[in-house]
Structures are given as C-alpha cells and as structure tokens.
Chain A
Amino acid sequence: MPQTSLETMLRISSEGPVIELHGEIDSSAKDALAVAYEEAPHDGRLLLDFSAVDYINSTGIALIVGLLARARAERQPVAARGLSDHYRQIFEITRISDFMTILVDNASTDQPAQEGTR
C-alpha cells in the first residue's frame, strides 16, 4: 500500500487562490501538486500554504521550482506561508525565496518576511 504523501485543497481568498498543502512533498507528490496548480485560477497571487507540510526533500524542491517556472511563464506571482524555520532556510539556500514571497506567521495578515526580488 503506497502512501499518498500529499493532499491539497484549493481555497479562494480575497487576495487570490490559496493551495493548502498537507503531508509530504517528495516524488510521490508530483501529480497532486500538478493537479492543484492546474485547478487554481491563474490570476491574482497564488499562495502556497505549507503549514501542514512536514517533509520536503530535493525532489519536492524540484517540484516547487517547476511550479514556480510555470507560474512565471503565466506571470502569476507566488507566495508561500507556514514554512518551518528549517524549510524557510532551505528555501533561502536554494534561492527559491528570491522568486516567491515568503510570509511569516500563520496569521491571515500577510506580513512579508522579505520581498521577492524578481
């Protein structure tokens, strides 16, 4: 019984679409992430909510970079929130955070931790 590692839920907030991610982002998350991105409206800022993500590996990083590449092609800004300190650091090391706004805190007010330098 292979584990389904990632579940996603699409929500539309006043600021744009929000994809809530639950579980793990590794190779088995590929389809779930792609479907979630397809289903999300491609206007307004896309917010990825990582609050319920407990594991991201290098393949998961590649999936996020792939998603970011598609969003850039469509000129849709992407933001992330709910990242643990550990994964926020990984987003910084990989420079993903240079291309998506990282929001701190799970509060609904979107306080940017640092602005993207796109």
Chain B
Amino acid sequence: MAITEQIIRSAVGTQPNPTAPDESAGEVSVDGAEGAEASTNLVAPEIAPNDPIIGYLQGAAGAVDLTHLDLDSQALRDLRESGVTMVVPLIANGELIGVLNVGRRLSDQDYSADDRRLLETLAAHAAPAMRVGQLVREQQAEMQQRGRMEQELQVAQMIQKNFLPKSVPELHGWQLAADYRPARAVGGDFYDFIELFDGRIGLVIGDVTDKGIPAAMVMAATKSLLRASAQRLIEPGDVLARVNDQLCPEIPENMFVTCFYGVLDPATGRLVYANAGHNLPLVQTGADASELRATGMPLGLMPAMDYREQTTTLEPGARVLLYSDGLVEAHNPGRDMFGEARSVAVLQAADSPNELLEQLLAALDQFTGETTEQEDDITLVALRRTVTDRYDDGTAGGDVDRYGRVLADFKLGSAPGHERDAMRLVAEALAPVGIEAARMERLKAATAEATMNAMEHGNHYDPALDVRIVVAATDSEVTVRISDHGTAVIAPVETPDIEAKLEGLQSPRGWGLFLIKEMVDEVRQSSEDGHHAIELAIKIEGAQDAADKP
C-alpha cells in the first residue's frame, strides 16, 4: 500500500509544511497546516485511496491546475473547497507518494510557467526524501508492533510458568516426572498434580486452543477451577463436568480446552479417569502398550456435558505417559508427524520416567531436526509404579522372615512380556546390595525364566492370576521367590540333549529349567495353599570369587 502524503503550502515563496500521515485506516489525511496567516490557512482534505484523482495524478506529467480539471472526484471537490488551486504530484520510483497542495498566490495572480517549473523541481527533490522519511516511519511502527508482540509473549510465558507445578510430588511406590517445553508463541498447555484429602492424587494434563495471553489466561482459570472442583467432587467425570459448566459462560468465543483428568490411588494402583477431548495417555504394561480410552467433549464448548469415567489398575512396573499434541503433531522437514507409534517405541524402551522424558525429547529433536523452531508447546507427564517396598516404607520396619530382609514384594499379571518387568524390578530391588554385574545378569535371566514358567504353567496365562515375587537378602544370600497359582511341582531337571535336538529326535525346546538351575547357586521349590513357589538363591559372600562359576 502506498501511503500518499500531502504537503501543504500556504503561499508561494514560503516553506512547504509537511505533515505526518495518519495511518489509522490506510487513507490519506492531513491534520491541517499551520499557515503564517489565518486567511491563507489551507486545510488538507483526506483523499480516499480509491479516489480517481490518485490515478490521474499518478499519470500527470507535472503540476496539475485544479481550476480546469474535469473529474468526478470527492477529493477534487474537497481540495477546491479548501482553497487548493494546484497540485504537484510527488513521485518516487514511479509511485505516487504524496502531493504538494498549492493555494492561491498571495498576489492573487496566476502561477507563471516559471513558478510551475520551480514547484516541479521542488517536488522532484522532495519526493525521494519524503519516501525515505516514510520508510523510516514504517520501520519504526513495525518495530513498535514487534516490541508489543514480544512483550505479550513474555507475559504469556510468565503466566504459563507461574501456573505450572514447581516440582512433582513424591509418592511412595511411584516415580513421577514432568516436563514443559514452551513454543515461542506460548500455546496454553498445562499439567497439575492435585493432592486429595483421602491420599489419592489427581493427575491433570490439558491444552487450551489458541496461543498467547488469551490462552494463558484461560489456562490459569481452568487450572484453578479444576483444583477447586477436584477437592469437592473427587470423581473425575464430575470434576470435568463441573469445570466445563463454569468455563462455558466465561471462555472467549472459538476457544476451548482439552483436558485429561485421572485420580490415582497410589496404594493400589487404581486409576479412575475421564477425558475432555485430550490426547489419550499411553500405558505400558509388560510388553503391551495401550491407551487410556475415555471420551468426552472439550471443556468450554457446550454446557451440561457428561464425562464417562473409566477405571484401570496400574500394576507394578506399569508406565504411563500423558502428553500434549505438541509431541505427536511435531513435524519433520518432510512434513511427517512424530506420531503415537514413535512415542510408544520410546515408552517401551525407556526405563524410569525421567529417562522416558529425556529420551522422548531427544527422539523428537532428532526427528524434527534441531534447526526447526518448535511449533507448539510440548507437555509431558510420566509415571511408573515401582514396587511395594515393604523394607523401605518405614511402616513395617523391614519384614524379616526366613528369606532375610524383604527388599521387594510385588505382583505381576500373567501376560507375555511381564518377565521383563520382573527382571527389571528384581534388579532395582537388589541395586543397594551391589551384586557383581555378570552374576546379576544371570539372576535376572533365571528370574525371567522362572516368571515365564509361573505365568505359563502355573497360571496358564490367565491375566487375572498374578505372579508374586519376593526379593529378600541375608548377609550371605539373596533369594528371589516366585510364586504362582499352580500346584504342580516341577520334575527334577535333566540336562537337555542338544545332539538329539539337532538331529530332530527331540523338540528343540525345554531349556527353561535347565537355564534357571545353571544361572543361580541354588533352586528350591515348594507348594502350599494352592500356590507353587520357586526360590532362586545366590550366595553373596565372596561374590567376586563365585562370579566365574557358570
């Protein structure tokens, strides 16, 4: 858009009097010129950008005498009205950037050809200088605008930062981690941990549509409403319904909030949850990844919505990832999205929640390429149920039984892949004991084999039947006791005949018990009260010496 500017001259021979343009509506305007005498004051009328006089002046060869101009133009009428008799176009780079309005000569005589040439020369010199002035002003205006936006960004970021939890709560038997990565234009993500009076904990993750200060304000309001309702209503579906009803009349048009809200009982792993249109959290149990599915409308769209609750139990070893769309909708330079599958892959590979978040963000950086600016806020909350650590929780003072100090006592459902959780949990429980690495590897392998046997032969892979694993230590021995719901006592272990297997005379299978026996120092088994148990023992005195023993 060319800003056409006028210069008013009160009389020939006096200084031109440039005036600042009014940028308000893209129209040409002049505030009015201050002439030397009241009688010669010219008021520059506005020239609408679509006025035909602009086209006429653009094509004019020089000064235009308005007295004889025949044009259906409001500007022309206004100019005449205000006493302008001649207009000299100011042209820079072939573009009309202003006009020099000239009133009647003080002597009332007509302008001579010399006068006109003088005016035209003046215009030819003034035009480029004026264009420079215009550009400087445009630049200044743009910088001011940018400064305002920058300030707005900072305010939005400040609101956002202040409303996110300063730390994650400590929950016995659980590990939690959270991370929030704002995009440059803050996107209104939020998360929260709400400690409820009955010992349960509310888990919140949400995302406000829109960006900047409005989104940050709605985020802050939603968080406060959630906190207020959570303590009174407890049940996630009721909480979301209440917050939705409160938000609806207040929220700016075209904005809404997606939000997942779950209430976790840390003691049992029971999680009741409801979802207002937020990305479905991911759960990893054993080898299986699944989603926490619940449906509901986003908050703030429509009042009187119902949010159906779902319930799940997070077993020891289970991991949960809550995330915002900034994660899965991040693009790589080829415009592919990071997606859920990649998130699941990282979830499956990662160990602790902290590691999970680190690895996710690293995978994301690698995917998007480090030069790409982050498109949207990324919020991640991860939790993992560890083990019921009776030794450490201070309530039992450390169970001591015939196995020694109980370092861990946990249950796993019967499903393929859970043996990997057993390995990890046993290794974690034994970390303080400091078992030599190779020996620990063998104990883990034996644990996995025994857990698989328990799930398969004892529990017939019935997911409702659990395998209980107790890790205990005395000063000289570590035992891992793995019990299932079967009664069968395992037959004495025979060394598999690999020649017969290779000749096809025997099944290639049948290595589990043999490996268990070879991996640990002692294998004991027992059967009582409808439970079968296998005990894996390794000596820890002189562990280094024994390390070389297979």
A-side interface residues toward B, CB under 8 Å? 1-3, 5, 27-28, 55, 57-59, 61-63, 65-66, 68-69, 72-73, 85-86, 89-90, 92-96, 98-99
Q: Most B CB atoms within 10 A — which of A57, A66, A92?
A: A57
A65 CA to B504 CA in the complex, in Å?
10
A-contacting residues, B446-462, CB 8 Å: 448-449, 452
Find chain A residues with CB under 8 A from B504 CB: 69, 73
List the one stretch of B61-69, B172-180, B287-295 in contact with chain A.
Answer: B287-295
Find chain A residues with CB under 8 A from B515 CB: 58, 61, 90, 93-94
A61 CA to B448 CA in the complex, in Å?
14
Q: Of the candidates A3, A62, A93, which one forms a contact with B287 in the assembled complex, judged by CB atoms under 8 Å apart? A: A3
A25 CA to B501 CA in the complex, in Å?
19
Q: Of the candidates B442, B496, B502, which one forms a contact with A72 in the assembled complex, judged by CB atoms under 8 Å apart? A: B502
Known contacts A57-B448, A95-B498; A69 and B288 CB within 8 A of each other: no
B-side interface residues toward A, CB under 8 Å? 287-290, 344, 348, 416-417, 419-420, 438, 441-442, 445, 448-449, 452, 496, 498, 501-504, 507-512, 514-515, 518, 550
- A66 and B508 contacting across the interface, CB-CB below 8 Å: yes
- A69 and B416 contacting across the interface, CB-CB below 8 Å: no
- B508 and A69 contacting across the interface, CB-CB below 8 Å: yes
Q: Of the candidates A2, A55, A63, A99, which one forms a contact with B498 in the assembled complex, judged by CB atoms under 8 Å apart? A: A99
Q: Of the candidates B348, B507, B512, B550, which one forms a contact with A89 in the assembled complex, judged by CB atoms under 8 Å apart? A: B550
Find chain B residues with CB under 8 A from A90 CB: 445, 515
A58 CA to B447 CA in the complex, in Å?
12
Nearest B residue to A65 via CB reads B508
- A85 and B438 contacting across the interface, CB-CB below 8 Å: yes
Q: Of the candidates B448, B498, B508, which one forms a contact with A98 in the assembled complex, judged by CB atoms under 8 Å apart? A: B498
The A/B interface has a contact count, at CB < 8 Å, of 77
Knowing that A2-B287, A95-B498 are A-B contacts, what are 17 other residue pairs whose CB atoms are under 8 Å apart, sorted by A's residue number? A1-B290, A3-B287, A3-B289, A28-B287, A57-B445, A57-B452, A62-B507, A62-B508, A65-B498, A65-B508, A69-B501, A69-B503, A93-B550, A94-B498, A94-B511, A99-B498, A99-B502
Q: Most A CB atoms within 10 A — which of B289, B452, B508, B518?
A: B508
Find chain B residues with CB under 8 A from A3 CB: 287-289, 348, 417
Between A and B, 17 residue pairs with Cβ closer than 8 Å are: A1-B344, A57-B419, A57-B445, A58-B511, A58-B514, A59-B452, A61-B511, A62-B507, A65-B501, A65-B502, A65-B508, A69-B503, A72-B502, A86-B445, A90-B445, A93-B518, A94-B514
Find chain A residues with CB under 8 A from B438 CB: 85-86, 89
A30 CA to B419 CA in the complex, in Å?
18
A2 CA to B417 CA in the complex, in Å?
9
Query: How close is A117's CB to chain B, nearest CB, in angstroms?
Result: 12
Nearest B residue to A67 via CB reads B508
A41 CA to B507 CA in the complex, in Å?
25
Q: Of the candidates B288, B348, B510, B550, which one forms a contact with A62 in the assembled complex, judged by CB atoms under 8 Å apart? A: B510
- B449 and A58 contacting across the interface, CB-CB below 8 Å: yes
Find chain A residues with CB under 8 A from B441 CB: 86
A58 CA to B512 CA in the complex, in Å?
5
A58 CA to B457 CA in the complex, in Å?
15
Query: How close is A69's CB to chain B, nearest CB, in angstroms?
Result: 5
Nearest A residue to B503 via CB reads A69
Nearest B residue to A72 via CB reads B502
Nearest B residue to A57 via CB reads B448
Find chain B residues with CB under 8 A from A92 CB: 550
Known contacts A66-B508, A93-B518; A27 and B498 CB within 8 A of each other: no
- B496 and A68 contacting across the interface, CB-CB below 8 Å: no
Find chain B residues with CB under 8 A from A61 CB: 511, 515
Nearest A residue to B286 via CB reads A3
Find chain B residues with CB under 8 A from A86 CB: 438, 441-442, 445
Nearest B residue to A27 via CB reads B416
Find chain B residues with CB under 8 A from A68 CB: 502
Known contacts A61-B515, A86-B438; A1 and B501 CB within 8 A of each other: no
Query: How close is B442's CB to chain A, nearest CB, in angstroms?
Result: 7
Find chain B residues with CB under 8 A from A69 CB: 501-504, 508
- A94 and B550 contacting across the interface, CB-CB below 8 Å: no
Known contacts A68-B502, A69-B503, A89-B550; A94 and B496 CB within 8 A of each other: yes
Find chain B residues with CB under 8 A from A93 CB: 515, 518, 550
Find chain A residues with CB under 8 A from B344 CB: 1
Find chain B residues with CB under 8 A from A5 CB: 287
Find chain A residues with CB under 8 A from B452 CB: 57-59
Nearest A residue to B440 via CB reads A86
A73 CA to B501 CA in the complex, in Å?
12
Find chain B residues with CB under 8 A from A94 CB: 496, 498, 511, 514-515
Query: How close is B327's CB to chain A, nearest CB, in angstroms?
Result: 17
Query: How close is A82's CB to chain B, nearest CB, in angstroms?
Result: 16
A61 CA to B289 CA in the complex, in Å?
26
Query: How close is A52's CB to chain B, nearest CB, in angstroms?
Result: 13
- A57 and B449 contacting across the interface, CB-CB below 8 Å: yes
Find chain A residues with CB under 8 A from B514 CB: 58, 94
- B289 and A96 contacting across the interface, CB-CB below 8 Å: no
Query: How close is B445's CB to chain A, nearest CB, in angstroms?
Result: 7
Q: Of the candidates A1, A59, A96, A99, which one forms a contact with B509 in the assembled complex, judged by CB atoms under 8 Å apart? A: A59
Nearest B residue to A63 via CB reads B508
Q: Of the candidates B348, B420, B509, B550, which one forms a contact with A55 in the assembled complex, judged by CB atoms under 8 Å apart? A: B420
A118 CA to B107 CA in the complex, in Å?
125
Find chain A residues with CB under 8 A from B416 CB: 2, 27-28
